[in-house]
Amino acid sequence: MYQLHYYPANASAAAHMVLEEMGADYELMLVDRTIDAQKSKDYLKINPNGRIPTLVDGNLVLFEAAAIVLHLLDQNPQTGLAPKLGTPERSTFNQWLIFLTNSLQEELMIYQYPDRLTGNDTKATEVVRRGAEARASTYLDVIEQHLGTNGPLFLGTTLSAVDFYFVMLCRWARPMTNPPRSRPTIAKLLDRITALPSVRRAYEGEGITDEIS
C-alpha cells in the first residue's frame, strides 16, 4: 500500500489524483501545515527538505511531486497514464511534465510566496510577485497555444498524468489577473479533467468542495 503524505490543495494533489485514477491502494497521511508539521522532527526523517508531498512505498521513500508521479506511473504502466518508455510520445510527456515543474510551478511558487525572496521589503515583494505572475502568464500562453494546435489534452486525445499535474497548478494560479481559465482552450481541458470521478474523489478526500481549478 502506498502512503501519501499530503496537505489539501498542496503539491501532493497531482499524486493524489493519479492514485485515484489508477485505482491504487493507498493511505493519506495529513501533514498539517497550519502547525508547521512539515518541519517536525518526525516528518524531517522522511523528507529532510520539510516540504510536501512525500510518498512511502514499502522501504522506498520519495519526495518531489514530479518524481512521485513518475514512480507511480512506472510502477503501474498498465494504467496508460504515461506513454511507454523509449517512445517519442514518452519524450513529449517528459518534456511537458518537466516544463510544468521547472517553469510554471517555479513561477507560481514565487508568485504565491514572494516574501521568501524579499523578506519584509514590501515594495520589493510586490515587484517580485508581479514579475513571477508575468512569467507564469507567458508559460500559460505557451500551453494555450500547444493545446490549440495539438490538444485537447497535452498528449492530444490521450489522457496522461501531465493533465492532472496541470490541474493542480491551475488551482494555485486562480488569483492571477489573467488566470488559466481566461484562456479558452485551457478552460476546456480543465472542464474535462475536473469532471473525472477520480479528480472529484481526490479533492473531496482532501475536504475541498469549491471550484477545483
pLDDT tens digits for 39-49?
Answer: 999 999 999 99
Going through the chain in order, the beta strands assigned E by DSSP cover 2-6, 26-30, 54-57, 60-63
CB-based burial label for 115 (10 Å; 0-12, 13-18, 19+): middle
Residues 35 and 59: beta-carbon distance below 8 Å: no
Q: Between residues 115 and 211, which one has the greater pLDDT?
A: 115
Map out the domains of the chain with their CATH numbers: 2-80 (3.40.30.10), 88-196 (1.20.1050.10)
Q: State the pTM of this model.
A: 0.96
Cα 24 to Cα 2, 58, 118, 141, distances in angstroms: 8, 14, 42, 34
pLDDT level of residue 211 (50, 70, 90 thresholds): confident
The arithmetic mean of pLDDT across residues 174-182, rounded, is 97
List Cβ neighbours of 115 (8 Å cut-off, separation of 6 or more).
125
Residues 111 and 136: beta-carbon distance below 8 Å: yes
Task: Tell me 84's DSSP state.
Answer: P
Ordered DSSP codes for 36-72: TGGGSHHHHHH-TT--S-EEEETTEEEESHHHHHHHH
The arithmetic mean of pLDDT across residues 186-203, rounded, is 97
pLDDT level of residue 25 (50, 70, 90 thresholds): very high
| pLDDT tens digits, 119-141 | 888 999 999 999 999 999 999 99
Percentage above 90 pLDDT, the chain: 96
End-to-end distance of the chain based on CA atoms, in angstroms? 29
C-beta atoms surrounding 181 within 10 Å: 17
Among residues 67, 40, 36, 42, the alpha carbon closest in space to that of 53 is found at 67
Query: What is the identity of the amino acid at 170?
Result: C
Grid cell at residue 199: 479528480
- Distance, in Å, from the CA atom of 97 to the CA atom of 70, rounded to the nearest integer, reads 9
| pLDDT tens digits, 49-87 | 999 999 999 999 999 999 999 999 999 999 999 999 999
Grid cell at residue 28: 493519506
Please name the helix (run of DSSP H) or strand (run of DSSP E) that holds residue 163, with its range, or none.
Answer: helix 161-172
